[in-house]
Structure 1
């Protein structure tokens, strides 16, 4: 990667130590033409040079965010037998609960327990001609012991989807594309994915891999952090910085599909999470916006001055990225959750062997 270019003068740097991850104010996008242009310049810089930024004044209800954090803590505090009733191993759609060390990143276990949710839609009927990724659509599993979880998370999903689609329109304008350029990829069935994550404290003898180093595969990712540090971003090769928690913000990062769609003009950045020390824990709530499962991501024609600065996508040769959204998403799920893959996707594993 080339040296990081100079940030716009108006871009805000968080006052939380030496941290090169910028802080953007989404309210500027709704103000005067000059304010909107300033925001778009900041967005273009952050997404191209860093691939990560904090977003404040995002429009998602702050009380809802607090309530979602609280209900998530209540979920993880349930007895194991209650959480295992909604275990992901029961779901061909990769929805549900996993104990710590159940999910793999680059073949190594992540020391986190988590609860995965997707868009609440009916299962698609399939036969031998139906693409395997169609099995990803289906209902979520919900814990009977905590009925309040469902309405809160579905409302959070609704607000996050609306906000993130609006942010994608800002991305289009920042790239000198028509504002609704990305809309057809999402239609009425965007691939929404929520992950509630608890990182338990680790002993000195345990691995510090909360989540191993990786890039996100979709379009945009959003993270609501608590006050425990842990997220780290590789801003340059071998140079990691802490994305320290900042109150009333979401951490946003670019996914590989958006990097692919812009021929590498925008940057999907490697990141990881370190487990907290013994006696502490970390709660983070992730929202991933992906395109419709049946979508194919095109290469968008950027204007010449941006095209000339595109680096080309930097796909992992051991985990190549495909423009077919459903196939790409399924591939990632099969790699991360081999137990679910063995139970529900034997035919796919046999075909791809």
Structure 2
């Protein structure tokens, strides 16, 4: 299983030419074969403290969390109660807090729908330490993600700065605090999904998870296998836009999260690194890409080169109540 989810040490890129070349070979293989790997040596500390803040947030009184209801945010920011977000139409049995870049939101008439994602976050007054901790975490993971993206391009024999134009100076980033509560013993919903079967939408996802496990990845024979918990590691996976840009050479692999056992609580914190909302992906000038067979098209999941269009596709499916309340003009089917 370690070969399926290799542990890559980012420090190897600074340990001389041979160590760097070996790192790039392993990175390319992981991104091509599975689309998932574990990253250590990233230099980002504070993981335990962040997960402690997640526990504190989800332990706040229900009234305090509901004051941040995502349904009150036209920008898809805030707290979601158990089952609010859906994957393939089925409620995900998790609570979450969605956070994006802190910006004023003021889309004008005729602006693309994806500009409605630009806006302020919602923060709990009862937990003032959360806002600076999360914003600092997002800043540090943005730097790691950009570095990792450049290394991935280098591994594909593509100029390392080829995608700088789509992520600089202002990549679209998205962060979630997640709580997966295990069902009560004998509960009717014990078989529900933690997070349903899906692919991520952008470029890279860096996931911090606790020691409970639960993340599963689909392999070639259709089986789902558990991603091991590696202390201090980020689980890294590729998003759909890298699959598009590499004509399918790199994989945005289907994955899911199973519910914890009764009485067990799982906490995690995924960070999503993506191009600017208006940016579109172009095929990478790489010998690996030119020889690739092309993206396998799923009629239930159309892929768009423009990131803003791709992410709106997912949000329209995931938050139908929010769309109905704030964006009724987007209620036309979004692909799945």
CA deviations over 1:261-310 (Å, ceiling 9, x no partner): 0000101111111100111110011000011001011112222x5522x2
CA deviations over 1:41-64 (Å, ceiling 9, x no partner): 000000000110011111212xx2
Contact 2:316 2:330 in 1 (8 A): no
Whole-angstrom CA distance in 1 between matches of 2:247 and 2:285: 9
Residue in 1 that maps onto 2:205: 221
5 Å-filtered alignment, 1:110-149, equals 110-127=92-109, 129-149=110-130
Is 1:240 the counterpart of 2:224? The answer is yes
Residue in 2 that maps onto 1:270: 254
Secondary structure of residue in 1 paired with 2:219? strand
Contact 1:265 1:311 in 2 (8 A): yes
Contact 2:313 2:334 in 1 (8 A): no
- How many residue pairs get aligned? The number is 332
Shift >4 Å, 4+ stretches: 350-353
Whole-angstrom CA distance in 1 between matches of 2:196 and 2:312: 19
Residue in 2 that maps onto 1:291: 275
Residue in 2 that maps onto 1:319: 301
Residue in 2 that maps onto 1:251: 235
Change in 2 beyond 3 A, CA 1:95/1:186: same
Runs of 5+ in structure 1 lacking a partner?
1-12
Residue 54 of structure 2 is aligned with which of 72, 90, 95? 72
Whole-angstrom CA distance in 2 between matches of 1:284 and 1:352: 28
CA deviations over 1:43-86 (Å, ceiling 9, x no partner): 0000000110011111212xx21211111110000011000111
Contact 1:200 1:280 in 2 (8 A): yes
Contact 2:69 2:78 in 1 (8 A): yes
Deviation at 1:187, TM superposition (A): 1.4
Secondary structure of residue in 2 paired with 1:209? coil
CA deviations over 1:208-234 (Å, ceiling 9, x no partner): 410111111111111111010211111
Change in 2 beyond 3 A, CA 1:352/1:250: closer
Q: CA RMSD in A?
A: 1.6
5 Å-filtered alignment, 1:32-111, equals 32-61=16-45, 64-111=46-93
Whole-angstrom CA distance in 2 between matches of 1:190 and 1:284: 22
After TM superposition, the structure 1 stretch with the greater mean CA deviation from structure 2, 321-330 or 152-161, is 321-330
Deviation at 1:96, TM superposition (A): 0.5
Deviation at 1:235, TM superposition (A): 1.9
Whole-angstrom CA distance in 2 between matches of 1:131 and 1:163: 30
Secondary structure of residue in 2 paired with 1:54? strand
Deviation at 1:125, TM superposition (A): 3.6
Whole-angstrom CA distance in 1 between matches of 2:289 and 2:25: 13
Whole-angstrom CA distance in 2 between matches of 1:352 and 1:323: 15
Contact 1:260 1:299 in 2 (8 A): yes
Residue 166 of structure 2 is aligned with which of 185, 196, 201? 185
Residue in 1 that maps onto 2:290: 307
Deviation at 1:352, TM superposition (A): 7.4
5 Å-filtered alignment, 1:189-208, equals 189-202=170-183, 203-204=185-186, 205-206=188-189, 207-208=191-192
**TM-score using structure 1 length:** 0.91
Deviation at 1:315, TM superposition (A): 3.7
Deviation at 1:334, TM superposition (A): 1.1
Residue in 1 that maps onto 2:15: 31
Change in 2 beyond 3 A, CA 1:260/1:350: closer
Whole-angstrom CA distance in 2 between matches of 1:350 and 1:314: 25
Change in 2 beyond 3 A, CA 1:272/1:125: closer
Whole-angstrom CA distance in 2 between matches of 1:208 and 1:130: 38
CA deviations over 1:82-139 (Å, ceiling 9, x no partner): 0011110111110000011111101111110111001111213411x21111111111
Contact 2:215 2:255 in 1 (8 A): yes
Contact 2:246 2:289 in 1 (8 A): no
